[in-house]
Structures are given as structure tokens and as C-alpha cells.
Amino acid sequence: MIKIKRALLSVSDKTGITDLAKVLVGLDCEIISTGGTKKVLEEAGIEVTEISEVTGNPEAFGGRMKTISFNIESALLFDREKDIEEAQKLGIESIDLVVCNLYPFSKVKESNGDFDTLIENIDIGGPTMLRAAAKNFKFVAVVTDVNDYEKIISELKENDGALTYETRFELMRKSFNHTADYDALISTTMDEKADEKSIRLHFTGGKKLRYGENSHQEGYFYREAGMGKSLYDMQVLHGKEISYNNLNDIQGAIDSVKDLNRFAVGVIKHSNPCGLAEADDQWTALKHAWAGDPTSAFGSIVAFNKPIELKTVEFFELDNEDKSKRKFVEVIVAPEFSQEALEYLEFHKNLRIVQFDPAICQRKFDMKYLYNSLLVQDADNLLYEKMEVVTKKKVDIKAKKKLIEFGLKAMRQVKSNSIVLVREMADDAFQLLGMGAGQPNRLISTRLAIEKATENLTLEFEGEDIFSYYDQEFGKAILVSDAFFPFPDNVVTASQARISTIVQPGGSMRDKQVIKACDDLDIAMIFTGTRHFKH
């Protein structure tokens, strides 16, 4: 326990500083301060020692020189056990607490301050004090975050003006992270001014996972520092520990439904949607999403874009006496769960129930770590540039726009080469009917999408003429491709399945051949002008 007898307060953000200072004074602590902070404290009736009385020098050069001095840094740095006699000979009186949050460089940058203003908001004395105090945390406390004031005040009152070792160690770590982030922002900003891009990343709170992608690999989960919202903050309401693979698939599941407006459900396996649907009610959306690939849905991650009610989750039949009818999923993700829905899901003791709102998951950048290198790109947030019918056969774009947009959003979540088939159901729901993903040849993806759609249509068909039903449903469906068709072979394959509408970005040197193939086979083709590779 270290008694705080003397504190140096010098802050840009004055929030709560008078409350902290009043508590310190009430515990017989001397307050040393500078400039604007000193003025605020004195206006609140708090007695303050001017820092020049400690340094022996005036503030100078427009405030550029205030705290940097032998006296201040010595008061922070000397070892209270080994150096006490030397400090007394030198006339150095210890400073036990530093409260400092640095010049607002980030705010000036965010407000597009000019270069000279940026330079003036590079703090020098502040980081020097923080690093000195943090290094000597065994005897000195250092506070950089206004959100810590309440905790500090409580502990000071509880311990008659003293702070524990554990608190000082925690504050020390925060201080070094604070100065590291501050310097990183300055350095990357200056690089940016020189037209030389650089990036420095800071992730905290590493949670050790059971293992990584495979059992022989270690796995960790981190939160990006300074971000107000993060998948890291999801609430696990029930079930087994979340795994590395679960987390990857949870992100894919969230991405699959985050941009859909009506009740939407995504069923994810290996980060690809094997089922996706959007409807006017949640149960219907779940039913159609599950039907997109009921076999692959086994052990899947299921994401919802709206709060879940009991009726929806009863679809899983978790309490069915016939265990073969219970639908097994690994994780269910939703913004909220009604109490009844939560209690029902908890019937499955291992089912991971995660509360997280997909709507907040809007990213600006994507990153991929390569061998000692990093790829960074803008997130794929542009759905299409245009909707242009380029064939003789026409499509009522206005009537089909919402279904086409659903198809584009579905396709955008499927790994390249990506082909999806989507359709509108009799109940006005939109469904991912089939998809082909991750193939080195687009034609294979097209065949896989058609095969899966055929399988799903076979499962749902009730009647005598299955082939007429295939023709009917494929005729209503829309095939969406993530990139252009390099050859007409995809068109021929689609035609053989009786598909009559294709959406693709266009841009191939053989576009004219592909369009001619569509015209010859009576297929409508729409160009969007936007490619959606996802690797």
C-alpha cells in the first residue's frame, strides 16, 4: 500500500478532475498542477501548487516546456527504498500520483486539423511523466483514463488515501498501452502526410481457447483496443466453451444476416451459408433457411437478425422424445432471446447460446495476415453499381429487385468461386436454394449449386411429376455469380437446368459470346458492374 501524499494533475480532458482532486485534498494530499488544469481546480476552490514552484523554472515557449525537469522526473523515478538518502540530499520530494491524459492529438486529427495544429498537439512532457511514473509503479500510481477516477476515489477513501500494489500495476499497464497507442497514432499520421501508408495494431485481453483450428494448434481470441463494439464482447448465455472454429463461423453467420431487412436466418458451415432465408416472420425464415441444405445444417451455426421468441426455437424440436428428430446445431446467435426461448434452448446442455446484434457488425476494413506481411482492403460494402439487362430477353427489374438484392447479399458471403441460386417462395419469403463455393473452376460451382437445388426440390416435392416441378422452380429462380463468366459454358449448364435469369458483374473479354449464348437459349442476363470475390 502506498499513501498518496503528493499528486501531479495535468490533463487535457478535464472530465471529473475536480472530483478526484477534492478527494485527494480531503485526504491531506498536496496537489501540483499546470496551466489549464490548475485554473479549473482553483476555480473549484481547490488549493494548488504551481508546477514552477517544483521545477524552479517558469512555463516557457507557449507551454511547450512545463513539466520536463530534473526535479519532476526525479520525484517520480527515484527508488523509495534505495535512493531515499540521495533524494534528500538533492532536495527531491516524492510525487506519488500522476494524472495525465495527454494532448488531444486524435481529436485534432479527426477534426481535420492542419499540419501545424497536429504538431502542436504532440505531447512531450505528458508521455515523459507517464512513462517515469509507470516504470516506478512500485512506489507511484499513474492514471490516464477518466473512467478510472471512480475506482481510484473509492479505493483512496477505503484505504485512507492509499492505493494497492495490484491497482498500481494495472494502472501501469494501461499507461504504457496509452503512450504506445499515442505514439503509434502520431507515427502513422506523419507517415500518411508523407504519402507512405503504415499501420500499427493493438489487441488486448487475449483469451486462451481450448485449441485452434485443430487440436494440436494453440488458439487465442483478442479484442481490438479502443473499439466501442467488438465480437469479443458477445455474451455467451449458455453452453460449452466457444471454440476457434465456432468464432470463425459465428462471424460468417453474423455477416450472412446483418444486411437483410426482414426476419432473416443464416445457417453456416465452415463460414459459408448452406442455408439463408428472409421472410415476414421468423419461424418461416428459419424453416426455409434450414431447408436450403438440411443435411449440412447438422452441427451448424445459426444466426438471426432479430430477437428470438419461443415459437421460433421450437422448430429445433430439442425436447422431442424421438431424439432422431432433434435438430443438432453448435451455436445460435441472436440480438436477444425471450426468457421462454432461452429456457427452451437450455434444454440442450451443450448448445452455445450467444447474444450479439448482427446489425452493429459493419466493418470498414478487412485484413489478412500473410507471411510476415499484412493485406488490408476496404470492406466489401458496395452491393452493385447498376442493374442492366444486356440480353434480348428482358426482366422486370423493379419487380425482381428485392430478390436480386437478396441473391447478391447471399452470394457475397459465399467463398469464391461463388454461384448461388435464389428464389421467391409462395409465402413471399426469399430462399437460398443452392450454392457452389470455393471451387477453382466456376463451372464446377454452377453444377454444385444446381445439384444442391435439385436435391432440395426433391426433398420438398409432393406430387407425381417431379420433372415439371424442377422446370417450374428453376424457371422462377435467379442464378447469381460473384464474377464474370469467362466462357458461355456456365450459361449452357444453367439452361439445361431450365434457369432463365442470370445475374453477374460482366467485364469479361468474352461478354459478347456469353450474351449471345443467353440470347440463343432464351435466358435473361443482368450486369451489375460489381465483382464480389471472397477468399
The answer to whether residue 135 is catalytic is yes
Q: Which listed residue (3, 270, 327, 516) is catalytic?
A: 270
Q: Exposed, middle or buried: residue 527 (CB in 10 Å: 0-12, 13-18, 19+)?
A: buried
Q: Exposed, middle or buried: residue 50 (CB in 10 Å: 0-12, 13-18, 19+)?
A: middle
Contact 308, 285 (CB under 8 A): no
Single out the residue of 452, 518, 451, 463 nearest to residue 489, CA to CA. 518
Q: Which listed residue (14, 22, 109, 135) is catalytic?
A: 135
278 phi and psi angles, rounded to 5 deg: -135, 130
Q: Where are the alpha helices (DSSP H) in 90-148?
A: 105-110, 115-120, 125-135
Q: Which triple of cell numbers denotes residue 36?
A: 489549464
User: DSSP states of 137-161 as a string?
Assistant: TTT-EEE--GGGHHHHHHHHHHTTS
Q: Which triple of cell numbers denotes residue 324?
A: 432422431
Phi-psi group of 317: left, alpha or beta (phi > 0 → left; psi -120 to 50 → alpha; rest → beta): left
Single out the residue of 223, 288, 268 nearest to residue 459, CA to CA. 288
The answer to whether residue 270 is catalytic is yes
424 phi and psi angles, rounded to 5 deg: -100, 130
Active-site residues: which are they? 135, 270
